[in-house]
A and B are shown apart, each in its own frame.
Chain A
Amino acid sequence: EAGVVQSPRYKIIEKKQPVAFWCNPISGHNTLYWYRQNLGQGPELLIRYENEEAVDDSQLPKDRFSAERLKGVDSTLKIQPAELGDSAVYLCASSLDGGLVYNEQFFGPGTRLTVL
């Protein structure tokens, strides 16, 4: 069974440029999460989707960040414009029915973003 797929794995951009990250969850997983992991820190949740609906986006900086999961499968996270402080690893995870704490989250390898 394929795991969570993310692309690109690495991205280097200059500040003020836009950037987008793509995630394809494990087949059949209706819950999708985006996390940001700053250097030397644990991941922090940005947004959680249940199917197409963003059910928790309280930590998403909405002035420059946006996300979509139009068909309830794969998802895109966008930053526009990027700032130096956005340099981090962006992780995607998926689970069966994230409304249940017992369902394990499976993580992708992440996209490492460097903003110059």
Chain B
Amino acid sequence: AQSVTQPDIHITVSEGASLELRCNYSYGATPYLFWYVQSPGQGLQLLLKYFSGDTLVQGIKGFEAEFKRSQSSFNLRKPSVHWSDAAEYFCAVVPPSQGAQKLVFGQGTRLTINP
């Protein structure tokens, strides 16, 4: 079945440590790829997106993501996390052949930061 999967429901890292959140997709062709962050009481905010071209994408708040076609993955990374990064992170796709912004979200990864 076509889907987007975030294998980790909850991740805890120490402040200052590096972070990698995983995202895998299952579609016949490469979808458009997105990462969103949802802080408590806040709306979803777009961190970055990948449509084509350079497979390493830079986003806001110091985040980056790497598209790997061979692994059907689009993992989110940050070299050094801050306490303010604690939030829920969602990987999302617009399935191939969908010209419109029809986002399909993964189930999310909750990030906790230890002081």
Binding site for B on A (CB under 8 A): 3-4, 31, 40-45, 48, 56, 91, 93, 95, 98-110
B interface: dominant SS:
loop
Chain B residues with CB under 8 A of A48: 100, 102
B56 CB within 8 Å of chain A? no
Chain A residues with CB under 8 A of B107: 40-42
Binding site for A on B (CB under 8 A): 9, 32, 41-46, 49, 51, 90, 92, 94, 98-103, 105-108
Given A40-B108, A43-B105, check contact A109 B98 (CB 8 Å).
no
Residue from B45, B90, B94, B106 within 8 A of A101 (CB atoms): B94
Flag if A41 contacts B99 (CB, 8 Å).
no
Residue of A43, A91, A98, A106 with highest tally of chain B CB at under 10 A: A43
Chain B residues with CB under 8 A of A44: 105
Residue from A91, A100, A101, A102 within 8 A of B44 (CB atoms): A91
Cross-chain pairs A/B with CB under 8 angstroms, 16 sampled: A41-B108, A42-B90, A42-B105, A44-B105, A45-B102, A56-B100, A93-B43, A98-B100, A99-B101, A100-B99, A101-B99, A103-B101, A105-B46, A105-B101, A106-B43, A107-B44
